Amino acid sequence: MIGFSPHLLSIRILISVVGLVGNVFLIFSIIQTTNSKIKSFEFFLLGLASANLEEIVIVNIYDIVLLQTSSTTTSIWLCSSLKFLTMFGEISSILFTVLISVYRYQKLRNADKRANLQIYLDSIRSAKMMIGVCVMFSVLLSIPVFAISAKDSAENGTGNSTGCPPDFFQCDRYNCHLANGIYKYLFILLCNLLPLIIVTVTSCLIISVILNKRRMVTPVVSVSGSSQLVRSRKDPRLQRSSIAVLAAMGLFQVDWTLYLILQLTFSPHDLPFWAEMEYFISTSYTSISPYMYGIGNNLFSFKTLLKK
């Protein structure tokens, strides 16, 4: 991180600004456009946008303020707290993405047979409970950062002059404590690989449902007695929203696949711009996805934002 290219810094600032604007815009758009009763899907989007916003802000504080400073007196507690908040936002964003993908598939599946009947996640109580579960898991999976940072910051070779290492796990291929290694690969399994598999599977199922609906035709007898084929009724708003979800899921799959390759193939010592690569991979989804969700759900318009 120290002494990285000003071009990378410019790109980093641009991505951060784009992400901040997009997530803030999405939050205010949902608040402004839901005058009566907020729907569970909007609850999930609010949770996702809030997690994205928190991650972008904290990771910039951690990387730019701490890793760029020449001070050697950085508090271990401050470093650990920022690591915890960064990982909490990252995990929350991932879990809310999984929740959105599962919800969208359930909403599309058997929609014609179900008619106006609600699915389980349509209930506001169920939606709040799932949001609470996501937050709880994010906290539990982020807490071990305190133990790792407190024990190994001084002795592990991944550290820097501030005592805040770019590798949160402090576990490279040559110098990795057992506890650090267990936490690293448990984190990769539960927070990266498993969500990636779930999002990939649900994306394929959503595509399958959409394609089947396009092919579905219904025989209808006209007044003259002749038989005609009429396509099944579609909800254009649901279709557009589903396409936006699929686009965001595609971006999610690309980003976290690259992240897995980076974590499992390289170490901070192998790449001089490790922290920058990790930043660009992890924050591209959090910065771009709110625009996909907002545009796909007709939330990104000044008319709805300024509506009182």
Q: How far apart are CA 131 and CA 244, in angstroms?
A: 21
Sign of the dihedral defined by the CA atoms of residues 57, 288, 39, 195, in that order:
negative
Q: What pLDDT sits at residue 306?
A: 54
Q: What distance lies between CA 243 and its chain's CA centroid?
A: 17
pLDDT at 301 over 70: no
- Number of Cβ within 10 Å of residue 119's Cβ equals 15
pLDDT at 121 over 60: yes
Percent of the chain whose pLDDT exceeds 70: 71
CB of 105 within 8 A of CB of 206? yes
Domains in the chain, CATH or no CATH each = 17-216+236-305 (1.20.1070.10)
User: In which residue are the tokens 């058997």 written?
Assistant: 110
Mean pLDDT, residues 191-215 taken together: 88
- Number of Cβ within 10 Å of residue 201's Cβ equals 13
DSSP 236-289: HHHHHHHHHHHHHHHHHHHHHHHHHHHHHH--TTT-TTHHHHHHHHHHHHHHHH
pLDDT at 114 over 70: no
CB of 60 within 8 A of CB of 158? no
What type of residue sits at position 72?
A: T
pLDDT band at 145 (very low <50, low <70, confident <90, very high): confident
Verdict on whether the full-model pTM lies above 0.85: no
